[in-house]
Amino acid sequence: MSDAILEVKNLKIQFKSGKETVQPIRGVDFTLKKGETLGVVGESGSGKSVTSLAVMGLLPETSSEIVDGEINFNGKDLTKMKEKQFRKIRGNEISMIFQEPMTSLNPVFTIGQQLSEPLRQHRNMSKKEIEKEIIDVLNQVGIPRAEQIINEYPHQLSGGMRQRVMISLALLCQPELMIADEPTTALDVTIQAQILELMKDIKDKNDMSLLLITHDLGVVAEMCDRVVVMYAGEIVEVAEINELFDEPRHPYTRGLIDSMPTQNARKERLYSISGQVPKPNEITKGCVFANRCPLAFDKCFEEAPPVFEKGDHISKCWLQDSKEGEVV
């Protein structure tokens, strides 16, 4: 259980827009252990999707650049890999489920044609074997009348069905690592419950590791073993799931948990974090969260906090500094 399947070390990503360069990811570190579900939480603009695209090697080549850092997958550094080598891994050993199932399926190909693509890429199989494999996987994700569905187009399916097709697409080559980027955000609650249940099942059955990216703490509470909290391109806290909810160390994590409606008395004002996530070009010195933090003191505006470790619980906040510890 303990060996890491994915290690992201000090990852820094830069984007060029016109003459300016912005750096939405500034030093991200985390490890995903084999067989575990790691949640990445953060609001829009916190850099969680960019991180996942970097792991998949899907960042736009012309406008982005990995300035520094490593992404180690099973001991291989993905950032150094050439496109041709990457193709052997992508969809085969690592696969991804996207947020919006309608835009990520191609509307002019049938489900069967789209599902056969990863198998044709990575496996040496005859047409008959491919079809059998596809129907197997479709049945596994709970799609009824799979034999007919493979001849239908994405628009003929409902949102929940399309997301099931996306999951089966990601499953086909039995990847070791699955990245799910907001897999249920576009779905209704009852369908969300179905899909989450399905993902849990599939993960256990196929012995995969799952990197789950979401902004919904409820989904995290439901699915994850450990959680990474991102804010404005940095990781502010990493903790085991129960520990994160019981004693969040970073004020941002605490704010996120406290602002869930279920954590507040009915009809009362909700706890809220004032202000909004800074844009990458607005970030100055000091802690990124300082301008919204209710507990910020002088040091926070002067110097960026280092990583404080307490066992497996990592947080980036001056309050965790033993000298300032009593402030908490």
Partner 1 sequence: MVEEALLQVKHLKKYYEIPQGLFKKDIIVRAVDDVSFTVNRGETFALVGESGCGKSTTGKTILRLTDPTEGQVIFNGTDVAGLEYNEMRSLRKQLQMVFQDPYASLNPKKTIKQILMEPLRVHNQFDEKDRLQKIKDMLEIVGLSKDYLDRYPHEFSGGQRQRIGIARAVILQPDFIVADEPVSALDVSVQSQVINLMLDLQKEFGLTYLFISHDLSVIEHMTDRVAVMYLGKIVEVADTETLFKDPKHPYTQALISAVPISHPAENKERVILKGDVPSPANPPSGCAFHTRCPFAMDICRQVAPETKTFSDGHTASCHLYTKSEEEQKYVTSDSK
Counting contacts by CB under 8 A, is residue 82 touching partner 1?
no
The minimum distance between CB 282 and partner 1, in angstroms, equals: 12
The minimum distance between CB 259 and partner 1, in angstroms, equals: 4
Counting contacts by CB under 8 A, is residue 158 touching partner 1?
yes
Cβ neighbours around 33 below 10 Å, total: 17
Count of residues engaged in binding partner 1, rule: CB under 8 A: 44
Find how far residue 156's CA is from the centre of its chain: 28
Pick from 130, 161, 170, 202 the residue near partner 1 by CB under 8 A: 161
Q: Which is nearer to partner 1, 187 or 300 (CB)?
A: 187
Q: From residue 190 to residue 219, what is the string marking binding to partner 1 with x (rule CB under 8 A)? A: xxxxx-xx-----------------xxxxx
Pick from 94, 138, 273, 300 the residue near partner 1 by CB under 8 A: 273
The minimum distance between CB 113 and partner 1, in angstroms, equals: 23
Amino acid letter, 71: I
Pick from 84, 128, 266, 285 the residue near partner 1 by CB under 8 A: 266
Q: Which is nearer to partner 1, 161 or 319 (CB)?
A: 161
Counting contacts by CB under 8 A, is residue 267 touching partner 1?
yes
User: Rounded to the nearest 5 degrees, what angle is found at the Cα of 119, between the Cα atoms of 118 and 120?
Assistant: 90
Report how far residue 12's alpha carbon sits from residue 14's, in angstroms, rounded to the nearest whole number.
7
